[in-house]
């Protein structure tokens, strides 16, 4: 609209608790309970169900006025008890909301009391994460929850277990279930099937096969044994380079596990970088399969290069996903005129700029972060991209500007298949490039069809012509 100082118009971010939910949903046999009023859990269930098209159960302590005044301890304990009675999860994440944080409930104390009063043993793992909405975003909620999960599971260091020679792989941003499956395939093939621990893993939990059964808690997710074993690993890879991956730092500081943060493997070069690192760490050759896949990607890039070259695109969404997409777009000769991250992160702008300089230094690009859609829309109007790449919320401006939107990221509420979107690896890059190219061709078809007529300057042979037969 124009300069605003006090109002956020059409938010790009969601709140911290939903990020924590996405992390907990990637843990085997787990449930999340939001300590707050009933609406928070319901809204997030709706938001996630819309995107993943799966049933999403998130508990609530259903705080009422009484709880808000006298403390939410009673509600939280009852909530925990009922979740155990009904779902019997081994792990319960307790994420706080604004309400719980503001009334100042001491969650850890309430959980200890609950354990004692109800005789809940150590085999039931309860993980508190402070995630008020007035701090940061869904992205930070994700990182915080992953850290809390790792800390809780590796807490018992009374005796250091045996070195497992495994590789920890810790995500710092949500990716699709399909991307998670592709990632696992990459690691399976290069590092070996039981030689790495991926956290979190939503490949099954948010994209469960239809069997006719309804699971109270969908099977899948990183196993508890694996998470507990992370402290015995040989090395850690953090996926995502714009944010501080707190779990990676924790593992390094507490257990001396060497670590390396790598970008999400989106596009050719970032995938190369991740694969090379894996090969380096594991000492294994990169299997022929990936050399071939890489070759096919380059083939695809060559096939597409004339169609996509110079196309001005705006990319928006969560920082690491956007950074990866920026890289892919640059490699293909497109012009990323506007690059926007939903939330603030310490290294997004710097990394994005560096990538631009590496591939197309003369490219004029606007990089924004931590803005709302209103600001983004203004920037789009100014930059006039020919295409948008990002989540569903760009549909309004895409419609207004009459430009195509390639849906990618979270949330995607107005199309099917968000859970199956593949972006990672060479395969994901091919998929993405094909979508981009075909979208451009589609637009060109329509535009060309309109143009396919004789130029106006052309005068047909007619009666006035000197050599007209009838003259």
Rounded least distance, CB 50 to other proteins, Å? 6
Rounded least distance, CB 32 to other proteins, Å? 11
DSSP 165-194: --EEEEESS---HHHHHHHHHHHHHHT-TT
Which one of residues 79, 220, 319, 394 is an interface residue with other proteins (CB under 8 A)?
79
| 1: contact with other proteins by CB under 8 A | yes
Between residue 366 and residue 395, which ones bind other proteins under the rule CB under 8 A? Answer: 374, 393
| 125: contact with other proteins by CB under 8 A | no
| 123: contact with other proteins by CB under 8 A | no
| 115: contact with other proteins by CB under 8 A | no
Q: How far is CA 335 from CA 90, 298, 303, 447, in A?
A: 49, 19, 18, 21
Which one of residues 21, 32, 40, 371 is an interface residue with other proteins (CB under 8 A)?
40
Rounded least distance, CB 28 to other proteins, Å? 12
Element (H, E) at 92: strand 91-96
Distance CA(63)–CA(411), nearest Å, equals: 27
Strand partners, 125: 91
Rounded least distance, CB 184 to other proteins, Å? 23
Strand partners, 59: 33
Max CA distance (Å), the chain: 110
Distance CA(438)–CA(403), nearest Å, equals: 14
Strand partners, 27: 222
Rounded least distance, CB 89 to other proteins, Å? 9
Between residue 290 and residue 319, which ones bind other proteins under the rule CB under 8 A? Answer: none
Nearer to other proteins, 69 or 162 (CB): 69
Rounded least distance, CB 39 to other proteins, Å? 3
Kindly give the interhelix angle for 107-118 and 73-87, rounded to the nearest 10 degrees: 50
Rounded least distance, CB 275 to other proteins, Å? 34
| 59: contact with other proteins by CB under 8 A | yes
Residues shown for the chain: 471
Which one of residues 21, 22, 23, 63 is an interface residue with other proteins (CB under 8 A)?
63
Nearer to other proteins, 162 or 214 (CB): 214
Between residue 212 and residue 251, which ones bind other proteins under the rule CB under 8 A? Answer: 212-217
Nearer to other proteins, 210 or 471 (CB): 210
Rounded least distance, CB 117 to other proteins, Å? 15
| 120: contact with other proteins by CB under 8 A | no
Q: Are 387 and 313 in contact (CB under 8 A)?
A: yes
Per-residue buried b or exposed e for 319-334, using 16+ beta carbons within 10 Å of the residue's own CB: bbbbbbbbbbbbbbbb
Binding piece for other proteins, criterion CB under 8 A, among 32-40, 249-257, 265-273, 437-445: 32-40
SS3 221: coil
Q: Are 9 and 21 in contact (CB under 8 A)?
A: no
| 93: contact with other proteins by CB under 8 A | no
Which one of residues 193, 211, 453, 464 is an interface residue with other proteins (CB under 8 A)?
211
Of residues 427, 394, 412, 464, the one with CA closest to residue 179:
427
| 99: contact with other proteins by CB under 8 A | yes
**Locate tokens 């169900």: which residue?**
49
Rounded least distance, CB 77 to other proteins, Å? 8
Residue 249 neighbours by CB distance under 10 Å:
15
| 110: contact with other proteins by CB under 8 A | no
Rounded least distance, CB 134 to other proteins, Å? 4
Nearer to other proteins, 114 or 250 (CB): 114
Antiparallel, parallel or unpaired: β 405-407 and 387-390: parallel
Between residue 399 and residue 428, which ones bind other proteins under the rule CB under 8 A? Answer: none
């Amino acid at each position: 609209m124009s300069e605003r100082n006090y109002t956020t118009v059409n938010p790009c971010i969601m709140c911290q608790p939903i990020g924590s939910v996405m992390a907990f949903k990637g843990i085997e046999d787990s449930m999340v309970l939001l300590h707050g009023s009933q609406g928070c859990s319901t809204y997030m269930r709706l938001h996630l169900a819309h995107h993943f098209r799966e049933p999403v159960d998130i508990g609530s302590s259903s705080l009422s006025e009484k709880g808000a005044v006298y403390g939410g301890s009673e509600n939280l304990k009852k909530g925990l008890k009922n979740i155990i009675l009904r779902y019997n999860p081994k792990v319960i994440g307790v994420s706080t909301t604004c309400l719980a944080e503001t009334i100042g409930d001491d969650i850890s104390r309430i959980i200890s009391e609950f354990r004692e009063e109800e005789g809940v043993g150590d085999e039931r793992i309860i993980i508190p994460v402070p995630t008020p909405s007035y701090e940061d975003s869904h992205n930070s909620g994700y990182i915080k929850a992953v850290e809390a999960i790792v800390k809780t599971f590796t807490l018992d260091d009374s005796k250091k277990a045996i070195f497992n020679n495994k590789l920890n792989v810790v995500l710092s941003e949500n990716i699709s279930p399909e991307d998670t499956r592709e990632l696992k395939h990459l690691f399976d093939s290069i590092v070996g099937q039981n030689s790495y621990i991926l956290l979190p893993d939503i490949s099954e939990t948010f994209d469960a096969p239809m069997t006719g059964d309804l699971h109270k808690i969908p099977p899948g997710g990183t196993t508890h044994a694996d998470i507990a074993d992370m402290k015995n690993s040989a090395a850690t890879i953090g996926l995502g380079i714009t944010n501080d991956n707190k779990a990676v730092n924790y593992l390094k500081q507490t257990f001396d596990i060497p670590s390396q943060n790598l970008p999400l493997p989106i596009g050719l070069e970032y995938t190369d970088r991740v694969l090379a690192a894996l090969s380096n760490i594991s000492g294994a050759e990169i299997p022929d399969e990936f050399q071939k896949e890489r070759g096919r990607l380059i083939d695809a890039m060559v096939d597409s290069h004339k169609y996509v070259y110079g196309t001005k695109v705006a990319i928006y969404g969560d920082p690491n996903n956007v950074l990866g997409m920026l890289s892919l777009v640059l490699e293909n000769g497109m012009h990323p005129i506007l690059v926007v991250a939903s939330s603030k992160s310490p290294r997004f702008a710097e990394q994005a700029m560096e990538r631009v300089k590496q591939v197309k230094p003369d490219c004029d690009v606007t990089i924004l972060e931590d803005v709302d859609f209103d600001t983004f829309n203004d920037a789009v109007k100014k930059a006039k991209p020919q295409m948008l790449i990002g989540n569903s919320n760009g549909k309004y401006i895409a419609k207004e500007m009459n430009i195509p939107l390639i849906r990618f990221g979270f949330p995607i509420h107005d199309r099917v298949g968000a859970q199956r979107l593949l972006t990672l690896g060479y395969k994901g890059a091919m998929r993405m490039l094909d979508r981009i190219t075909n979208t451009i061709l589609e637009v060109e078809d329509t535009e060309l069809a309109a143009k396919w007529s004789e130029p106006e300057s052309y005068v047909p042979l007619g009666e006035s012509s000197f050599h007209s037969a009838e003259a």
